[in-house]
Amino acid sequence: MLFPLTVVVLVAAVCLMAVAGWYAARSLVVDDRLLLVAGVTELGLLVQLVVCLVHLGRVPGGGAEQATFAAYAITLPFVPPAALFLALKEKTRWSMGVVAVGAFAVAVMTARLQQIWNLRG
Partner 1 sequence: MAENPSGPPAPGMPPPATTDGPRSTRSGPGVVLVAVYGLLALAATGRSVLQITEYFSRAPLAYVLSALAALIYLVATVALARGDRTSRAVALVAISVELVGVLVVGLASYLAKDAFPDKTVWSHFGSGYGFVPLVLPVLGLLWLRRTRSS
Binding mask 48-67 for partner 1 (x = CB under 8 A): ---------------xx--x
Question: Does residue 98 interact with partner 1 by CB under 8 A?
Answer: yes
- Nearest CB to partner 1, comparing residues 3 and 60: 60
- Per DSSP, 120 falls in state T
C-alpha Rg value of the chain to the nearest Å: 15
Does position 94 bind partner 1 by CB under 8 A?
yes
Residue 38 makes CB contacts below 8 A (sequence gap 6+) with 16, 80, 83, 84, 99
21 lies in the binding site for partner 1 (CB under 8 A): no
Beta carbons of 99 and 12 less than 8 angstroms apart: no
- Residues at the site binding partner 1, with contacts judged by CB under 8 A: 27, 63-64, 67-68, 71, 75, 83, 86, 90-95, 97-98, 101-102, 105
